[in-house]
Amino acid sequence: MLFYEPFFALFAFPAFYAVYLWFNDRAAAKKWALILGSVAFYTWGEPLFVPIVLASSLLDYVLSKRIIPGTRDTSRKFWLALGIAANLCILVFYKYTDFLIANFNTLLAPFAGSQLPLLKIALPIGVSFVVFEKISYLVDTYRGTSKPARSFSDYCLFVFMFPKLLAGPIPKYHEMQDPIANPAAATWNDVQAGFLRFARGIAKKLLIADTCGAFADAAFGANAITLGAGQAWLGVVCFTLQIYFDFSAYSDMAIGLARMLGFRLRENFSMPYTARSLTDFWRRWHISLTTWIRDYLYKPLGGNRGSAAQTYLNLWICFLLSGIWHGASWNFVLWGAYNGLFLTLDRMFLIRWLERSGAAISTAVTLFIVMIGWVIFRATSAEHIGGYLAAMFDFTRAASTLDIPPELPLAVLIGSILSLLPATPLYAPLTRLYERSVHVRRLAVAALIALYVIALARAFAVPFTPFIYFRF
């Protein structure tokens, strides 16, 4: 069940929300309604994975009692390692087993006549996000940042809470501990603000991301040799807009739904395409993941406390693993290495050069670096990466026919304006006008509701396209 499906938006969620609001002043009943609703939501799409998540959550809950700072148990590190290993085993089994088997077969191909069969294990939606949330709970409990969950039901609600379950944002338990234990009554302001945020996500996903995504799929799905430079660049632009408006749309929907339920989730994006360096970009893109990597990987490795060479190595390790987290494919490993390279160059000299170059040049250069990275991310193999990049920069090549849908130019224009407007001098006065004028705010609300209706109408007419990050 997807947030933007008409069945969810028009039937399933309103029915659940009516029950939830019925218990609005009864925290315990409301908490159980949310637990049962969240488990039912995940069971709808991943029924076989739910018992595994429940069993591993029970293990987390039991182990968290044994790793509290100050306990006499001298085996705290062992229990922490056991909990982390158990969660990583889930991730490796579902996500990387076939990848490891395929690469093992490749290595043995010159020496062995037969190969190991691929298991073709279905990847549960959201498994990477669930595992990272559960690991952060264990580590924070070990560090004393979080207290253990007061009850197993509290921890289950943290793991299964359906707005953020499938693709983040990745919360930390101590950020949600009190609201989970005693859910506050949802106010009218929560309902209004949450719905408008949800509507914004629906419009971004269905009207911009999916429209751009259709052409991106066609461009990256074509033989790169047949693409002209203009087609290849348009494909990259479309994917650049698709992945941003697709993923940030899910975050908008998750934050909006959680707000309607009386919870506050952290922001996950902060105008990333206005970044003036790749370091700045990664402070703005998928914020909950980058902070997770910083807190649970980069800092334990030593962060920037050692020599420059050690810092560069730590950055590379973190982004190589970030690439692997995104998918079981070598192009994701290359994408992680590519980002690690430019983050290293930032620390060496690039960020200082960009600062001296001015806002327009630094933003343009950073966006160019990011877009080349998206080619690596979106391509399916090293050969595909090379062929696509060659098409982008071969301006003499004759192009084959690649249909441009009539709605694409408008989607690209609006997506580009929304992405880049915050980098222009117009953004500040427009923001002040919105904040000061009641009429402008009302007009914006009316426009957003109209776009929400149009987007839902499109959902009835066009085959659904899953969120990109559901693959991860």
- Cα 73–chain centre separation: 37
Query: Is the pLDDT score of 457 beyond 80?
Result: yes
How far, in Å, CA of 235 to CA of 133, rounded? 34
Amino acid 436: pLDDT: 93
Amino acid 126: pLDDT: 84
Amino acid 114: pLDDT: 73
Q: Name which residue leads in pLDDT, 162 or 274.
A: 274
Residue 80 tokens read as 């922490």
Q: Where are the alpha helices (DSSP H) in 115-228?
A: 127-143, 152-160, 162-165, 173-181, 188-203, 210-221
Q: Which of 174, 326, 384, 439 is catalytic?
A: 326
12-34 per-position pLDDT tens digit: 899 999 999 999 889 899 999 99
Nearest CA-CA partner of 379 in 343, 338, 341: 338
423-442 per-position pLDDT tens digit: 999 999 999 999 999 999 99
- For the full predicted model, state whether its pTM sits above 0.85: yes
For residues 292-298, average pLDDT: 94
Are the C-beta atoms of residues 271 and 422 closer than 8 Å to each other?
Answer: yes
Query: Is the pLDDT score of 168 beyond 80?
Result: no
Amino acid 3: pLDDT: 76
Annotated catalytic residue 286: no
Amino acid 1: pLDDT: 63
Are the C-beta atoms of residues 8 and 2 closer than 8 Å to each other?
Answer: yes
How far, in Å, CA of 165 to CA of 347, rounded? 35
In this structure, which long-range contacts are made by residues 88-94, counting pairs with CB atoms below 8 Å and at least 24 apart in sequence? 88/131, 88/135, 90/52, 90/56, 90/127, 90/131, 91/127, 91/128, 91/131, 93/121, 94/121, 94/122, 94/123, 94/124, 94/127
How far, in Å, CA of 38 to CA of 16, rounded? 10
Q: What percent of the chain has pLDDT over 90?
A: 74
Planar angle of CA 27, 29, 34, nearest 5 degrees: 90
Residue whose tokens read 């071969």: 394
**pLDDT range class, residue 470, cuts 50, 70, 90:** low
Amino acid 107: pLDDT: 84
How far, in Å, CA of 260 to CA of 187, rounded? 8
Region of 263 on the Ramachandran plot (φ > 0 left; ψ -120 to 50 alpha; else beta): beta
Are the C-beta atoms of residues 140 and 146 closer than 8 Å to each other?
Answer: yes
Query: Is the pLDDT score of 215 beyond 90?
Result: yes
Are the C-beta atoms of residues 123 and 326 closer than 8 Å to each other?
Answer: no
